[in-house]
Amino acid sequence: MKTLTQEPIRKMSKIKLITFDLDDTFWDIRDTIINAEMNSRKWSEDKIGEKIEWGTFEDFMKIRNELVKKDPSLEYDLGMLRKKTIAYHTKKYFKDEKDLSEFIEEAYKFFLEERHKVTFYEDVINVLEKLSSQYKLGVLTNGNADVNKLGIGHLFDFSISSMDVKSNKPNKGHFIKARELSRVDFQNTLHVGDHPINDIVGARDLGINTMWFNLDNLNWDVDENPPIEFNKWSKFINLVKNNYGG
């Protein structure tokens, strides 16, 4: 009698689409933003030729909060928020409105360049390259980083920022838009991010599968139901396969 050799049964992956957060998921954002802020201040002072009173970090946050209070759309329009913050500190140096608005555009462009000087966590690019041949990939960010400016745009099927959906995660906007663009159901989608609420709870509440990038090995203190987590990108592909097949 013919014996059947036991072939390992490979389950088809349940996941068709993987969406990713950017800041603090693909790179550390804190140092990048601090550097971008410091270099932008220096750039402004060099352009204007005067020392500018920037105030403390608390002042910086207070100004931002006041601007958002006046115009709630600034909560998701980070570009405009930044431009208004620059105007707040520099308008007294300009007599001409046109000169001021030209300066603000240039200052913003400079900031944006600096903001993209990120250092990817180890293995991120390598892992994305491997995943991109097997899954649809998307970006869901509350920030204003642009994967096309980072040379990795070709690895993604789409990228959604808060400006695109006029809201921030954990609201539904990003997730709904991702479903619309990919035509993949929530149950076949996996969202990956560092933020317990914005990424994990936001996605989970809609029935999206989630994985928490927990670089600092924090405790899950949101509820009694900790998500699948990882702290190294080299572990990610196996984790997806072990949990969802493929």
Binding footprint of Mg ion on the chain (CB under 5 A): 21, 23-24, 194-195
* 170: preceding bond cis by omega (within 30 degrees): yes
The residue (of 212 and 244) whose beta carbon lies closer to Mg ion is 212
Closest approach, Cβ 244 to Mg ion, in A, equals 22
Residue number with CB closer to Mg ion (63 or 150)? 150
Residue whose structure tokens are 């920022």: 161
Other Cβ atoms within 10 Å of 151 Cβ, number? 10
Q: Nearest Cα to 19, choosing from 130, 184, 154, 146?
A: 184
Single-letter code of the amino acid located at 216 = D
- Pick the closer one to Mg ion by CB: 168 or 188: 168
Report in angstroms how near the CB of residue 164 gets to Mg ion at its nearest.
17
Tokens read off for 40:
């932008």
CB nearer to Mg ion: pick between 104 and 200 = 200
Q: What is the greatest pairwise CA distance in the chain?
A: 95
Nearer to Mg ion by C-beta: 29 or 107? 29
Give the number of C-alpha atoms closer than 13 A to the C-alpha of residue 109, restricted to the C-beta side.
Answer: 6
What is the number of the residue whose Cβ is closest to Mg ion?
24
Min dist CB 14 to Mg ion, Å, is: 25
Q: Which is nearer to Mg ion, 24 or 77 (CB)?
A: 24
Identity of the residue, 136 or 195, whose beta carbon is nearer to Mg ion in the bound complex:
195
- State the nearest-atom distance from the C-beta of 129 to Mg ion, in Å: 21
